[in-house]
Amino acid sequence: MNGSRMIGEVRVVGAGLLGASIGLGLRAIGVDVIVHDSSPVNLNLAIDYGAGRPAKDTDIPRLIVVAVPPDVTARVVAAELAAFPNAIVTDVASVKVSVLEELRATGADILRYIGSHPLAGRERGGPISARGDLFIGRPWVVTPHDDIPAAQIGVIEDLVLDLGAIPILMTAEQHDSSVALVSHLPQVVSSLLARRLLGGTESALALSGQGLRDTSRVASSSPELWVQILGANSASVVGLLREYRTDLDALIDALDAPSAPGARRAVAELLAGGNAGVARIPGKHGQDRRFSQIIVMVDDKPGELARLLTEIGDIGVNLEDLRLEHAPGVAIGFAEIAVVPEAEAGLVTELEARGWRIAEVAL
């Protein structure tokens, strides 16, 4: 990137992971960033890390980014709108309708407010975890409302583009119902699954495989943050949870009498619906393309995986995706490699010729 699209100084309020990362990203392209936080410790830490400079009485920021917890976002946005009557204000909270409604209720000058939400990695960490490149390649939803002038939307889009993210325009309502489905519902489903593990025996948990690990991974997220998110988007989330419960009830009924007429068909249709649903998730690079998967056994010692990947590079095949699995209890790993289907057969042949053991080939 050569310089910034944005002109003038940017004020960032809240020096947590997101706020400090925005500051670092903008400073890296020469933007004058003012950083503010109600905690002097956080503020000084963010300044020490290079996320911006302290505020001065003479500051006249054109753009203000509020990056505080969802619970207090509307209050802080309203205060900033009042304190800087010529600035455009955005926020980065993961819920959008409740913030806008609260602002309307307080009589804030909402024609200078445009909400936004970067879908950037994990929401944890504080300024110490901040990175200027946190947003590169990530979707960043921008939610204009009412008759917001296009020029003001453009200011937020410039911010998003300057940070390397992809701006996606939606209404606040569209945003909240979208993230309820692709983010908040998976969080709830995973947390409730993981909660069941509290009742499992040690020997049951010793049989845990990759399926359980994947399904329960996000259950380790912060309850404090998620209480705020789920509370602020409760209407959308509850709607989905009720639909989920209807399916769950149907499944429980069918499994209560698994030999009854229609029971097997009911279970099969619920599972087939899952097949069809998961196929709707866009793949790598936004495409819906399916890749072939090859599983290679790798000894668990330094350099082995690098050797494998170097040889795949020598063979001339590009990895579309890769993950490493470890078998419990032994010093061996499985590298799951995704490649375009046309490359699969040749790659397997070449790898086997070089002595690699292919554990399984599946489409």
Radius of gyration of the chain from its Cα atoms, rounded to whole angstroms = 24
Residue 137 touching its own copies (CB under 8 A): yes
Which residue lies nearer to its own copies by CB, 151 or 362? Answer: 362
Residue 144 near residue 153 (C-beta atoms within 8 A): yes
Least Å from the CB of residue 289 to its own copies:
12
Least Å from the CB of residue 207 to its own copies:
5
- Please provide the DSSP assignment of 115-140 as one string: EEEE--S-S---GGG--TTTTTT-EE
Q: Which of 60, 255, 341, 342 binds its own copies (CB under 8 A)?
A: 255
CA 160 to chain centre: 16
Alpha helix segments (H runs only) across 84-184: 97-105, 150-162, 172-179
- Which positions ≥6 away from 213 have C-beta within 8 Å? none
List the x/- string, 292-311, binding to its own copies by CB under 8 A.
---x-x--xxxx-xx--xx-
Q: Which of 111, 153, 251, 340 binds its own copies (CB under 8 A)?
A: 251
Which residue lies nearer to its own copies by CB, 111 or 194? Answer: 194
List the interface residues with its own copies, window 160-219 (CB under 8 A).
Answer: 166, 168, 170, 174, 177-179, 181-183, 185-201, 203-209, 211-219
Separation of alpha carbons 102 and 2, rounded Å: 38
Q: Which of 245, 262, 341, 354 binds its own copies (CB under 8 A)?
A: 245
Q: For the chain, what's the residue count?
A: 363
Which residue lies nearer to its own copies by CB, 8 or 262? Answer: 262
Q: Which of 33, 134, 160, 163 binds its own copies (CB under 8 A)?
A: 134
CA proximity to 33, closest of 122, 5, 25: 25
Residues in contact with its own copies, total (CB under 8 A)? 138
The residues that bridge with 41 in the sheet, in sequence order, are: none
Kindly state the helix (H) or strand (E) to which residue 44 belongs, with its residue range: helix 40-48
Which residue lies nearer to its own copies by CB, 29 or 332? Answer: 332
Residue 72 touching its own copies (CB under 8 A): no
Least Å from the CB of residue 3 to its own copies:
19
List the x/- string, 311-340, binding to its own copies by CB under 8 A.
-xx--xxxxxxxxx-xxxxxxx--------
Q: Which of 109, 243, 342, 352 binds its own copies (CB under 8 A)?
A: 243
Which residue lies nearer to its own copies by CB, 80 or 91? Answer: 91
CA 193 to chain centre: 20
| Segment interacting with its own copies, rule: CB under 8 A, options 7-15, 60-68, 146-154, 241-249 | 241-249
List the x/- string, 258-287, binding to its own copies by CB under 8 A.
xx---xx--xx-xxxxxxxxxxxxx-xxx-
List the interface residues with its own copies, window 141-160 (CB under 8 A).
Answer: 141
List the interface residues with its own copies, window 26-45 (CB under 8 A).
Answer: none
Residue 7 touching its own copies (CB under 8 A): no
Q: Is 90 exposed, middle or buried (0-12, 13-18, 19+ CB in 10 A)?
A: buried
Which residue lies nearer to its own copies by CB, 85 or 137? Answer: 137
Query: Alpha-carbon torsion 25, 26, 28, 29, what sign?
Result: positive
Which residue lies nearer to its own copies by CB, 109 or 360? Answer: 360
Name the token pair of 158: 């410039």
Q: Which of 252, 261, 353, 355 binds its own copies (CB under 8 A)?
A: 252
- Please provide the DSSP assignment of 208-276 as one string: --HHHHHHHGGGGS-HHHHHHHHHHTHHHHHHHHHHHHHHHHHHHHHHHSTTSTTHHHHHHHHHHHHHH
Least Å from the CB of residue 230 to its own copies:
6
Look up residue 328 and give its DSSP letter.
T
